Structure 1
Amino acid sequence: MKYDLLIRNGTLIDPAQGLHERQDVAFADGEVADVADILPEAEAREVIDAEGRYVTPGLIDVHVHVYPGVSHFGIEPDATCLARGATTVVDAGSAGADTFPGFRKYVIEVSQTRILAQLNIASQGMVSQQVGEFALPEYANVDACCRMIEQHRDLILGVKVRLTKDSIVSQSAGMTPLHRAREAADAAGLPIMIHPQAAWCDSLDDILKVMKKGDILTHCFHGMDCGILDEDSGKVRASVHDAIERGVLFDVGHGAGSFRWDVVERAMAEGVLPATISSDLHIYNVNGPVYDLANVLTKFLHLGLSLDEVLTRVTSVPAESVLKQEGIGTLAPGAWGDAVIFELRRGTYNLEDSSGDVRTGTQSLEPVTVIKAGHVYRS
C-alpha cells in the first residue's frame, strides 16, 4: 500500500498554503504524503470519509500547563490536549531549571502529545499554590536558567516570567524577575514570554518597554491592572500599538482569569487582534471556562473572526513565529503527519469568559478525529 491513511472528501483549511478547498490528504511513514483533488482509496490501508467536515493541520497551543504531579497547575497532556486536537503544545513555565529534567524524562518523553517548553526564570517553576515563584528574588536564577537551556535547546523555546504581585511576586522581588528573565533570554538568544497581570509597576507600558521583536505577551485580554486598555480612556494603550509594530506577539492565554469579553471587544474595535490564540489550559480551567483549545477558537468565531482567521492563529503563525520549525502547522507534502477533522456544529452554546460573563453562541468547532504522525489517535 502506498498510504497508511487517506482522508477523503473533506474541506482542507491550511493557512500556510493558502488552501480552503475540497482536497484529499494522504499520510505515509508519519508524514503527509500527498494532497490532491482525488487520491485513490485502493492505495490506502485506512480511509476516512470527511464529507461535510473540515480537515486542518494539527493545532498548536502555545500556552498550556502539563506537568502533573509537580506543578499544582499540571494536567495530563494526551487526554486534554492531543485528544482534543492540540497535537503540539508549549508548556508555559511549569518547570524551571531545578525541575525541567524531570519534566523532560517523566512527561515529555512518555507523552504522545508533542511538548515543547518555555523555561521559567524561577528555578523551581510553578510548584506551589501557597508560595509564589518569586517569594524571594533569588529564585530568579539567570545562570541556572541559561545552563538548563543549553542542555535542552531541542525543547526550550524561551524564558517565561509571571509578574503578579503578592501571590506570585513578593514586594522585595518587585520587577527583578522581569529583568532577570530578559537577561537570561538575551544570553541564550531566545525570546521571553510574560504574564503581566497586576505587576509591581505603574502600567503595562513599563513591561512592554522591556520587550523585543519575537517576545510574547500572553494573557493579552485580561481585565486586571497592567492591561492593554488605558484606565482613563478605555482605549488601547499607545504602547500596545507600538509593541505590535515592532514585532511583539500578543497571545490570548485564556486561562481561569485572563480573558474578558469586554476587553477583547474593545481591542478588536481598534483593530488589535492576537497573533496567536492559546488556551492556558490547566487543572483550574479544564472543566470550564476553557475546556480545550477548540472552545477558545469557538469564542473567537463568536467574536466575528472567520474560520480561516482563527485557524491561522493556531497553525501557521505559531509554527513560524513561536516554534520556528518547518514541517509543522501545515499539511503540505513532507510535513509532520498531524491533522484534525472538525465539525462546525450549529446550535445554542454558552461561551463563558474568565469573569463569569456568558455569551450565547450559535456555532461550535468540535474535533471529531485526531491524526498524530499519520495514524488515527482518536476518532
Structure 2
Amino acid sequence: MKLDILIKNGLVADTDGNDYVNRSIGVVGNRIVDLSDADASQAETVIDAAGCIVLPGLIDFHAHVFHGGTAISVNPDVVGLPNGVTGFVDAGSSGWVNYPLFRQAVVASSTVRMKSYLNVVNVGLATLGGGPTGYLENTNPANYNVEQIARTLRENADNILGLKLRYSQDIAKGKQYASDPFQATVALARQLNTSLCVHVTDALQPADELIHHFAADDVWAHCFHGTGHAILNPQGEVFAAVKAAQARGVIFDCSNGVAHFDFHIASRALEQGFYPDIISTDLTRRNSLRTDKVYSLLHVMSKYLNMGMSFFDVLRAVTTTPARLMKMAGQIGTLAPGAFADIAIVKMRKERIVFEDTRGVKIEGDRYLDNCATLCNGEIVYRRLRF
C-alpha cells in the first residue's frame, strides 16, 4: 500500500503512555494507517518533523463559529487550521430558529469537524452585549419553545450534543421570571434526555448549590472565572461538592474568553489538584488572534503548561476528552491507525511569553507551543516551509 503522506522523525505524543514515541505516521486517503501494511519508501509526500511533536488534531470544545450568522462568531477554518485545530464545538451560538442555517452554512461547508450545543434561547446569540451594538439574550423560560427545541434535537442528533444556557446575573438581573432559567433548562434537558452546557459566571446561586443539578457529561463552562460565585469557598479551597461532581463525571471546561479567567482562582484550583477536564478558548471576534488573554487554543494550552499542568494532561483536555464528548472517540483526538488523519505538528519554543487574565494580572512563562503544520481529513491545510 502506497502512502499519500508520511510524517517522519517527529516525537509522537502518546496520551495513554504519557510518553513521546519516535515513530512515523502514515496517511492514506483521509485515514491514519498501520505502517506495517504500507510501503513508507513510496510516500507521495514526506514531511520531516525532526525537532517537532506530532499531535492529534486539536479540538476547541467551546467557541463561537456561526460565522456570518451572529455578531460575535469567527470563521472556524481561519482561526483553527493555522493553529493546529481541526475540530470545534460551537457553544450555543444558534437556537432552534437559526440552527438550520448554521448547519447548512457553517457545519456543512467548513473544513474543520464540528459539533454544537443548541441554545435554549430561540435565536441563540444572534447579537450580544448592551448599548447600541446589541442586546443580551432573553432567557425567560416562558419563551422556550419546547416543541421546536425537541424537534431540532431529534432531527440533528448526529450533531447537537445538548442544550446551552448562559446563566449569570448580567442577563437575569432585574428580571421577574416565573421560573428560574437554570432550573427550567435542567428540567428540559432531563425531559429530552440530553446533556447541558452551562455558562456559569456570577451565577444567582453559589457553585456548591448549583453543582448538584449537573449530571455526568454535563459541562460547567468557565470554571476558573473570578466574577461573583466561583468554585472556591471562602477559605480558598475548591468546594467539596465541586470536587465530588468532577469525580462523578461532570465536565469542567475552562472556556477562557476575555472575561472568564482569573489567575487566582485557577492557580488555587491547580495547586489542589483540580484540573480542567477540557481546555478551550471561547473564541469570538473580540478575542480571536487579538489579545494575550486568549488569542488561540495553543496560546491557552501554553498558559496551563506554564502554570504547572503536565503536557499530557493538557493534551488530553484538547483531544481525548472532547473527542469522547463529541461521540467520536477513536476517530478524532488520536493518532491510532484507522482514525481520521487530523494531525498537528508543533514545536515547543523555549522563549519568554506573557499571559494575562480578565483583571489584567499577568504572569511570565518560558515556553509556548507553536504550530508548524496541520492536516485535516488527510489534507495538508497549513504548513510552514521551515519548521
TM-score (norm 2): 0.92
Say which of 254, 275, 278 aligns to 1:276: 278
Alignment match, 1:12: 12
Task: Decide which moves more: 12-21 or 186-195.
Answer: 12-21
Measure, in 2, the Cα distance between the counterparts of 1:8 and 1:46.
11
State yes or no: 1:31 paired with 2:13.
no
Q: Secondary structure at the match of 2:299?
A: helix
Task: Decide which moves more: 339-348 or 174-183.
Answer: 174-183
Q: What is the aligned residue count?
A: 376
Sort the Cα spacing of 1:65 and 1:35 in 2 relative to 1 into closer, same or farther, 3 A: farther
The structural deviation recorded for 1:140 is 3.1
1:235-291 deviation per Cα after TM superposition (whole angstroms, max 9, x unaligned)? 212221221122111111001111111111111111111111111111111111211
Alignment match, 2:224: 221
| Amino acid in structure 2 at the alignment position of 1:124 | V
| Amino acid in structure 1 at the alignment position of 2:230 | G
Alignment match, 1:235: 237
Q: Secondary structure at the match of 1:167?
A: helix
Sort the Cα spacing of 1:174 and 1:138 in 2 relative to 1 into closer, same or farther, 3 A: closer
| Amino acid in structure 2 at the alignment position of 1:375 | E
Measure, in 1, the Cα distance between the counterparts of 2:382 and 2:5.
14
Following superposition of structure 1 onto structure 2, how do residues 359-378 of structure 1 map, counting pairs within 5 Å?
Answer: 359-378=363-382
Alignment match, 2:333: 329
Task: Decide which moves more: 234-243 or 139-148.
Answer: 139-148
1:99-136 deviation per Cα after TM superposition (whole angstroms, max 9, x unaligned)? 10000011111110111101111111011223222254
Measure, in 2, the Cα distance between the counterparts of 1:338 and 1:272.
29
Following superposition of structure 1 onto structure 2, how do residues 146-295 of structure 1 map, counting pairs within 5 Å?
Answer: 146-167=150-171, 171-173=175-177, 176-201=180-205, 203-230=206-233, 232-286=234-288, 287-288=290-291, 289-295=293-299
8 Å contact kept, 1:64–1:92: yes
Alignment match, 2:316: 312
1:337-369 deviation per Cα after TM superposition (whole angstroms, max 9, x unaligned)? 100000100111111122221111110101110
Measure, in 1, the Cα distance between the counterparts of 2:321 and 2:174.
35
Measure, in 1, the Cα distance between the counterparts of 2:217 and 2:140.
29
8 Å contact kept, 2:96–2:118: yes
Task: Decide which moves more: 306-315 or 134-143.
Answer: 134-143
State yes or no: 1:357 paired with 2:356.
no
Q: Secondary structure at the match of 1:263?
A: helix
Gapped regions of structure 2 (runs ≥ 5): 129-133
8 Å contact kept, 2:57–2:375: yes
| Amino acid in structure 2 at the alignment position of 1:310 | V
Measure, in 1, the Cα distance between the counterparts of 2:38 and 2:149.
49
| Amino acid in structure 1 at the alignment position of 2:217 | G
The percent of aligned pairs where both chains have the same amino acid is: 32
Measure, in 1, the Cα distance between the counterparts of 2:346 and 2:15.
15
Measure, in 1, the Cα distance between the counterparts of 2:164 and 2:229.
17
Gapped regions of structure 1 (runs ≥ 5): none
Alignment match, 2:131: none
8 Å contact kept, 1:350–1:360: yes
8 Å contact kept, 1:121–1:177: no
Alignment match, 2:116: 117
Measure, in 2, the Cα distance between the counterparts of 1:224 and 1:26.
47
Measure, in 2, the Cα distance between the counterparts of 1:321 and 1:120.
18
Alignment match, 1:97: 96
The structural deviation recorded for 1:65 is 0.3
8 Å contact kept, 1:13–1:56: yes
1:133-184 deviation per Cα after TM superposition (whole angstroms, max 9, x unaligned)? 2254333333322111111111101111111123366622386322232233
User: What RMSD in Å do the two structures reach over aligned CA positions?
Assistant: 2.0
Measure, in 2, the Cα distance between the counterparts of 1:341 and 1:175.
49
| Amino acid in structure 2 at the alignment position of 1:316 | T
Following superposition of structure 1 onto structure 2, how do residues 58-77 of structure 1 map, counting pairs within 5 Å?
Answer: 58-77=57-76
Q: Secondary structure at the match of 1:282?
A: coil
Sort the Cα spacing of 1:35 and 1:182 in 2 relative to 1 into closer, same or farther, 3 A: farther
Q: Secondary structure at the match of 1:178?
A: helix
| Amino acid in structure 1 at the alignment position of 2:264 | D
Task: Decide which moves more: 205-214 or 181-190.
Answer: 181-190
